[in-house]
Amino acid sequence: MHELSIATAVVESADAAARRHGAASVESVRLRVGELAGVVADALRFSFGLAAEGTALAGARLEIEEVPARARCGGCPGDFAVGSPPSLECPGCGRSAAELLTGRELEIAAVTLPEPDAPAGVPPPSLS
């Protein structure tokens, strides 16, 4: 399944970020997924749990921010929602879009890490 490959890439790169920042675990990962990224959010959520098993991401929350597709018109100054089913024809003037503004994102926006523990070697305060 495709989303498993994506989820694995997400886990790898979030895991690397956690390590760079000295964190042993990850609280959450925020993903931005464009409407035209070709990725199904629900399938991705399911795969994420599988891909995270046995890594620093185990138990991490996956937050998916869906980014609507918008395009800039090539004929008038407007921009418009590409919509569903998608159309790159401007509803205002009928001309074709010059470029897509948003909608193909597939990126890790951020990871949330626990604060680092107290420096090693300092024993926890005794409760006696």
Partner 1 sequence: MMCRTVDLRHAVLAKNDGLAAELRADLTARGMTAVNLMSSPGSGKTALLERVLTRAGERGVAVAALTADLATENDARRLARSGAPVKQVLTGGLCHLEADQVREHLADWPPRATRALFVENVGNLVCPATYDLGESLRVVLMSVTEGEDKPVKYPTAFGLAHLVVLTKTDLAQPAGFDEEVFADHVERVNPGVEVLRSSARTGEGVDGLLDRVLAACSGVTPHRPVLARQHLERHGHTHAHEHGHEHAPEAESGPEAAPEGPDEAASDVIASPAGQPSDAVLQTVADGS
The binding site comprises 2, 73, 76, 90, 93
Around 4, how many Cα atoms within 13 Å sit in the side-chain half-sphere?
A: 4
Angle subtended at Cα 81 by Cα 75 and Cα 83, rounded to the nearest 5 degrees: 120
Residues near 67 by beta carbon (within 8 Å), at least 6 away in sequence: 32, 33, 34, 35, 102, 103, 105
Q: Which pairs from 117-124 meet CB under 8 Å and 24+ separation? A: none
Contact track, partner 1, 26-65, x by CB under 8 A? -x---x----xxxx--------------------------
Instruction: Select from 51, 56, 62, 103 the one that contacts partner 1 (CB under 8 A).
Output: 103
Q: Binding to partner 1 by residue 115, rule CB under 8 A?
A: yes
Instruction: Select from 78, 86, 92, 94 the one that contacts partner 1 (CB under 8 A).
Output: 86
Token pair in block for residue 27: 């609280």
Q: How many residues bind partner 1 (CB under 8 A)?
A: 48
Instruction: Select from 6, 14, 52, 73 the one that contacts Zn ion (CB under 5 A).
Output: 73
Q: Binding to partner 1 by residue 1, rule CB under 8 A?
A: yes
- Residue identified by tokens 């690397």 is 16
Q: Binding to partner 1 by residue 112, rule CB under 8 A?
A: yes
**Site of interaction with Zn ion (CB under 5 A):** 2, 73, 75-76, 90, 92-93
